[in-house]
Amino acid sequence: MRPLVATIDLAAIRHNYALAKRCAPGRQAFAVVKANAYGHGVREVVAALGEVADGFAVACLEEAAEVRAVLPHGRLLLLEGCFATDELPEAARLGLDLVVQDAAQLDALLATPLAQPLNVWLKLDSGMHRLGLGADAVRQAFARLRQAPQVGELNLLSHFACADERGHALTEQQVEQFLALLDLEFDQRSLANSAAVLTIPAAHMDWLRPGIMLYGATPFAELSAAELGLRPAMSLTAQLIAVREVAAGESVGYGASWVAARPSRIGTVSCGYADGYPRHAPSGTPVLIHGTRVPLAGRVSMDMLSVDLSDLPQAQVGDAVELWGAQLAVDEVAQAAGTIGYELLTQVTARVPRRYRG
C-alpha cells in the first residue's frame, strides 16, 4: 500500500467547535462543513459533531443531501441558497435553512408552494459584493416574506470580506450596515465566520458560522492556530521511499531547478501534487521528519517530492514524513507556498485515504 495517509483527529474538531462556542457564550453555531468538511470527510465530521453542534452549513444541495444522510434532523444551512427554482422542493424535503441572496431566489421562493415552511436567511451584501441584497432590497424582501407560507423563521445573514485582517476599516462598515437593518424584527441573525468568532465579539449575533477554525487552521496571517488554542485536525503523513547521495553541482527533480551547493543527501517522499500537495511550493518549504524541519529540494512531482536530508543524517528509508499536521502547521506550509491553509486542506485529493481517530 502506498505510504500516504491523512489522519483526521475528530477529537480535535470537537475541541475546536467547543472553543468557537466559548468565544461567544449563549450563541449557537453552524459548523461549516462545505467542500467535504474542508477536505476532512463530511460524513465522519458530521457524525463526530452531530451530538454537539447546533447546526451545519454547506454550499449546495448535493452537500446538504450528504449531511442529511448522516444526520436526519437538525438545522442545515444552505449558504448560497438554491441555484435553480427546481431545487426548492428538494430543499424543503431536506428541511434546510435557506439563504436568499438575490431577487431571482426571492421570486422563485414566493412562486413555489412548499411541502413545509423553511427557515429563510436573507443575505445582506454589506460590502463584500459577492452575494446578497442591498439594504433597501432586504427591507423589501422582508416585507414580502414576513407572511409567506413558505417561510418559517425569517433571519438575516451577511459575510465579511476582511475579518482576517484585524482592524480593517471595511469590517467596521460591514457591521454598521448589518446593525442598521436590525430595526426589522428578524428571528435570528448571523454574521461571524471563524475570524470574527475569534476576534470580533460585536459580530457574534445569534448564530456563528465557524469553518476553518474547526479544522485547527488559522484564518489570520499574523496569528497562528496554536496561539488561538486550536488543535490541528489533519495530519498528512507520507514516508521516505528512497535516499541518495548527490554530488555538489548535481540537480534534483524536473527542470533540474535545484542544484546541490554541497555534497547532499536527498530523500524522496511519497506525496506529490496529485495528492493535493501544492506544486508551486518552492524549494525550502518545510516538511517534518523525526520532529525536525527539512527543506523541500526541487519541484514537486505528481506522486513524489524531494527533500534535502543533509542536516538530518539519521533519516532513512521508511521514516515517516509529516507534510503538515499535528507538529507542522498547515498554515506554515501554506505561507511558504504563497497560499492559505483553506486551499491546502480542501485540495487533498480522493486518492489519499483518510483515517479517523478520536
* Residue span binding ligand PLP (CB under 6 A) among the ranges 210-218, 224-232, 289-297, 302-310: 210-218
Is 6 among the residues that bind ligand PLP (CB under 6 A)?
Answer: no
Given the residues 21, 34, 215, 342, the one annotated as active site: 34
Is 193 among the residues that bind ligand PLP (CB under 6 A)?
Answer: yes
Could you tell me the smallest distance in angstroms from the CB atom of residue 327 to ligand PLP?
A: 23
CB nearer ligand PLP, residue 6 or residue 20: 20
- Structural contact between residues 158 and 177, judged by C-beta atoms closer than 8 angstroms: yes
Could you tell me the smallest distance in angstroms from the CB atom of residue 23 to ligand PLP?
A: 12
Is 211 among the residues that bind ligand PLP (CB under 6 A)?
Answer: yes
Is 123 considered catalytic here?
Answer: no
What's the Cα-to-Cα distance from 336 to each of 10, 116, 127, 217, 307, rounded to whole Å? 27, 49, 30, 15, 15
Own/partner pairs, 128-132, CB within 8 angstroms, 24+ separation: 128/159, 128/160, 128/161, 128/174, 129/161, 130/159, 130/161, 131/80, 131/99, 131/101, 131/102, 131/159, 132/101, 132/102, 132/158, 132/159
CB nearer ligand PLP, residue 219 or residue 278: 219
Binding site members for substrate = 130, 302
Structure-derived torsion over alpha carbons of residues 67, 72, 76, 81, reported in degrees to the nearest 10:
80
- The rounded distance, in Å, linking the Cα atoms of 276 and 345 is 8
Is 212 among the residues that bind ligand PLP (CB under 6 A)?
Answer: yes
Is 49 among the residues that bind ligand PLP (CB under 6 A)?
Answer: no
- The rounded distance, in Å, linking the Cα atoms of 32 and 210 is 6
Q: Which residue is nearest to ligand PLP (CB)?
A: 211
Could you tell me the smallest distance in angstroms from the CB atom of residue 139 to ligand PLP?
A: 21
Is 254 considered catalytic here?
Answer: yes
Pick from 13, 29, 32, 315: which binds ligand PLP (CB under 6 A)? Answer: 32
* Residue span binding ligand PLP (CB under 6 A) among the ranges 102-110, 205-213, 271-279, 344-352: 205-213
Pick from 209, 231, 265, 299: which binds ligand PLP (CB under 6 A)? Answer: 209
Is 79 among the residues that bind ligand PLP (CB under 6 A)?
Answer: yes
CB nearer ligand PLP, residue 34 or residue 299: 34
CB nearer ligand PLP, residue 32 or residue 252: 32
- The rounded distance, in Å, linking the Cα atoms of 11 and 31 is 15
Own/partner pairs, 172-181, CB within 8 angstroms, 24+ separation: 173/126, 173/127, 174/126, 174/127, 174/128, 175/126, 175/200, 175/202, 175/203, 177/124, 177/126, 177/127, 177/135, 178/124, 178/126, 178/203, 180/135, 181/124, 181/135, 181/138, 181/139, 181/156
Subset of residues 141 to 160 that bind ligand PLP, contact rule: CB under 6 A: 159
Subset of residues 215 to 234 that bind ligand PLP, contact rule: CB under 6 A: 219
Residues that bind ligand PLP in the complex, under the rule CB under 6 A: 32, 34, 79, 159, 193-194, 209-212, 219
Active site residues: 34, 254
